[in-house]
Every structure is written in C-alpha cells, then in structure tokens.
Amino acid sequence: MKKNSLPNAPVMLRRQSFLDTVRKNWLLLIMLLPAVLYVVVFNYLPMSGIILSFKQFNYRDGIFGSPWNGLDNFRFLILSGKLSALTRATLLYNFGFIVVNTILEVAVAVFINEISCKWFKKCFQSFIFLPYFISWVVAAAIVQALFSYEYGVINKLIELFGAKRLNINTTASVWPTLLIVLNAWKMVGYGSVVYLSAITGIDPGLYEAAELDGANKWQQIFHITVPSLLSTIIIMTLLAVGRIFRGDFGMFYQLIGNNGVLLRKTDILDTYIYRSMLGNSQLGMTAAAGFYQSVLCFVTIMVVNALVKWIEPDYSLF
C-alpha cells in the first residue's frame, strides 16, 4: 500500500501547495480577475473568428454554420496585385516608427532624469506626455491648420524664407517623413515612461563611483545609463516587432483619408483592406486579411526573438 501511494505523493503535494497559495492570496487573485477576464474575452475568444478566413460567411448561418470555401478569401489579396507593395509599405513605416521612437524615448527619458529642477521636470514630462491623449481626428485637424496652403503657419514661414508654399494634400513625397514625425510627437512621451522607470532602478552607487573616477555626465550616460537600459530596449522592441505588419489605421486614415494622390506613398494593408471592404462587405475576406497580417507578425517576432536568443539569451522574451 505504501509503495503504491508513493508515486502519487508529489501530485498531492503540488495540489495542496496550489490550494494553500490560493487561500493565502485570494484577495489578490480577486483583484486580478477583471484583467484576466478582459484578456480572455477580448483577446482569446475572438480567435475563434479565424475560421471566417476559410468560409463564405452569411448572416443566416452565422460564423460556424456558413459553408467552407477553402482559400478563396485569400485570392482577394493575391489577385489585387498590391499585396507585396502594401506589405512592404506597412513594414517600412513601422520599422521607421520603431527606430525613431525608440531613440527619442530613450533620449527623453535620460533628459528628464537629468533635470534637477522639480517643477520644470514635472511640467516638461506633462507637456511631452499630453499628445498621447489627443485623438488622430484632432491631430489631423491640427496638421491641416498648420499646413494650410493659404493660411497655415508652416507655409507662412516657408514663404518668409523665400521658398514656395507646400501643399501637403497634393505632395505625396513629404508624407513618409511627416507621418514618422507625427507618430513620434504622439507616442514618444508615453513610451519614455517605461525607460524612465528603468533608469530609476539603476544602482546610484554606479554613478557615484564613476563620478569619483572623474567621469562627466555624458560619460555616465553613455557608459552606465544606456547600457543598463539595453535589456529594456530589446524587450520593448520585440513587443513592437510583434505588430510590425499592422499599421496604425487611425493615424493613416484620419490624416490621409481617401486622397488618391497620396495613397501611392501612404497606403498600407489596413487602409487598403478597409477601402476594399466598403465596396465588398465580405467578412471572410476581411478575416483573411487579418489572418495574413497575424501570421506575418507571428513569424517576424519568432525570428527576431530567435536571433536575440542566439546573440544574448538573457534578453529574449522566451
């Protein structure tokens, strides 16, 4: 009897340990429950909609009752002839956003950390954080007001320096740069908070030792602060890479809209799919496009994480 019961002992101990943990931390688990429910309801349950990518959806039969149609929905993307160009544009825009924003976020975090005046530090942090709460609808109105061909402040300044006025509604070449600048303006303040919190966790003794050795502020930043932020930078970059094939639909659509002159430089997968669905309300095609983007994002983050793990295992996500 004792011999037969021995193999089950570890299982019973693990079960008892788990129940003890639940009893001791039941209040914390209840506090965690809303977040868990949110993730399950809005992140995991919608995954069942992937099957729409392989179905001819109709409202009468619903998601699970609609007939299967194989890979027909993916022909919408392939036969359009724009799949490679749209994928490349989405990738390049997001790559630009990640590189520029990461550099500026680290720079802003370091700058805020070095400010000694408390009231100026708080004002600057609030000022740079404010654009994150401005919707792209309002941001688009601000851009149109600033770059108005007749009354815009930017065009007044351009004309003051003897150059010709710029009509951003007909000049597609300026939009790649403008979109990167606008995205940085809106997101850098929010992203710098993560790096600022990481900086506060650096051992102050390192700076004291460097100062005793004669290192100035710039040397302390480049030899202590930035290397200490490397792991955070890599993790945040990996998380951003997970959405590198998903464009910010709100930004692109509110700023560009359906301006055909600008679309050749600014069209991405998200906006093209949306415009296509307006004339063809096939949910299966929309699901296929979303599934295509998700697969690309998954493959990308797996490849990048594998490279990071190969170079420095401690910095990988998993």
DSSP assignments along 107-150, one per residue: HHHHHHHH---HHHHHHHHHHHHGGGGS-HHHHHHHHHHHT-TT
**Residue 15: what pLDDT?**
63
Residue 276 CB neighbours (<10 A): 17
Q: How far apart are CA 170 and CA 164, in angstroms?
A: 14
Average pLDDT taken over every residue of the chain: 87
- The DSSP bridge partners found for residue 55 are 68
Mean pLDDT of the region 128-151: 91
Task: Kindly state the average pLDDT of the residues 169-189.
Answer: 93
Predicted confidence at residue 1, as pLDDT, reads 44
Identify the pLDDT of residue 58.
Answer: 84
Question: 15-36 pLDDT, tens per residue?
Answer: 667 788 888 888 999 999 999 9
Model confidence pLDDT, tens digit, residues 299-311: 998 988 888 888 8
Contact 64, 77 (CB under 8 A): no
Q: Give residue 281's pLDDT band: very low, low, confident or very high (50, 70, 90).
A: low
| pLDDT mean over 197-209 | 90
User: Which is nearest to 284 in space by CA: 270, 275, 273?
Assistant: 273
CA–CA separation, 218 and 209 (whole Å): 15
pLDDT grade, residue 14 (50/70/90)? low
Q: How far is CA 55 from the centre of its chain?
A: 30
Query: What is the rounded CA–CA span in Å between residue 278 and residue 267?
Result: 16
Q: Rounded distance, CA 211 to CA 141, Å?
A: 49
d(CA 95, CA 78): 24
The pLDDT value recorded for residue 2 is: 47
* Residue 207 vs residues 110, 192, 219, 253, 304: alpha-carbon distances, Å: 14, 21, 10, 46, 33
DSSP state of 223: I
Calculate mean pLDDT across residues 100-123.
91
The pLDDT, as a whole number, for residue 98 is 95
- The larger pLDDT score, comparing residue 100 to residue 65, is at 100
What average pLDDT does this structure show over 119-147?
A: 91
What mean pLDDT do residues 259-274 have? 88
Confidence of residue 11 (pLDDT cuts 50, 70, 90): low
Give me the mean pLDDT over the 61-77 stretch: 85
Judge whether residue 108 has pLDDT over 60.
Answer: yes
